[in-house]
Amino acid sequence: MNQQALREKFLGKFPGAEKTEFRGELAFKLGLGEIHDALKFCRDELAFDYLLDISSVDHFGEHPRFEMVYELQGLAHLQHLRLKCAVAEEEAEQIPTATDLWPTADWHEREVYDMMGLKFVGHPDLRRILMWDGYPFFPLRKDFPLEGKNSDVPEVAFTGKAPLAGGPFVTAPTTATAKDREPRAKDFLARE
């Protein structure tokens, strides 16, 4: 199957999908209500047997705020396909899981939940995968402050906000190594 045939078959099944092509990559944007059916169609009818990734984007300040991105690969025909769907804030807990289609979606969806707070309906074990249980924030949302938030758990990482001036997110051109530029590394070395 080539990209032209893929495009025609997909749009034949989902005529309302918004098609984009960029640098030879094909992507379709659908509504949240269509995404699970589209993923199943891609797996069963278009031979996309490999789920590469599931990620999310926060378009803070826009409506809809979130976007889900699914990266698919067909190992037999060597085609890549990206499916996207917009998710409004009020729909952030209504995203259908893809774990019934690809078991590997389990970890991807848990990461999206942990970092962005988006919940997947029907997921078999939706819990944090990177942050600790009970962590009240979602660090990849754009309204999460760059300097972090104060923590009352002193054994975990840093308890205070990270300094922004010369800190881990603001750098200036220099010939110094990362070890020498990082203020927390300097502070740690001074304590030894």
In tens, the pLDDT along 138-179 reads: 999 998 877 666 666 655 555 565 555 555 555 556 677 766
Mark whether 188 and 150 lie in a shared domain. Answer: yes
Closest CA to 55 of 94, 103, 110, 92: 110
What is the spatial distance between Cα 168 and Cα 161, in angstroms, rounded to a whole number?
Answer: 11
Confidence at residue 165, expressed as pLDDT on a 0 to 100 scale:
56
Contacts of 140 (CB under 8 A, 6+ apart): 56, 58, 115, 116
What is the spatial distance between Cα 107 and Cα 50, in angstroms, rounded to a whole number?
Answer: 14
Confidence at residue 188, expressed as pLDDT on a 0 to 100 scale:
47
Give the DSSP H/E element, type plus range, for residue 74. strand 66-74
Question: Residue 113 belongs to what domain range?
Answer: 3-137
Mark whether 156 and 185 lie in a shared domain. Answer: yes
How many other C-beta atoms can be found within 10 angstroms of the C-beta atom of residue 39?
A: 24
What parts of the chain have a pLDDT lower than 70? 147-174, 178-192
Mark whether 84 and 172 lie in a shared domain. Answer: no
Closest CA to 120 of 44, 66, 42: 66
Confidence at residue 19, expressed as pLDDT on a 0 to 100 scale:
96
How many other C-beta atoms can be found within 10 angstroms of the C-beta atom of residue 167?
A: 17
Q: Where are the alpha helices (DSSP H) in the chain?
A: 3-13, 35-44, 105-116, 178-181, 183-191
Residue 76 in contact with residue 54, Cβ under 8 Å?
A: no
Helix axis angle for 3-13 and 35-44, nearest 10°, is 140
Mark whether 88 and 180 lie in a shared domain. Answer: no
Which CATH number goes with the domain that contains 38?
3.30.460.80
For residue 149, the Cα-to-chain-centroid distance in whole angstroms is 22
Confidence at residue 107, expressed as pLDDT on a 0 to 100 scale:
96
Confidence at residue 136, expressed as pLDDT on a 0 to 100 scale:
84
Out of 113, 137, 161, a domain closes at 137
Mark whether 45 and 62 lie in a shared domain. Answer: yes
In the block, residue with structure tokens 């848990």: 110
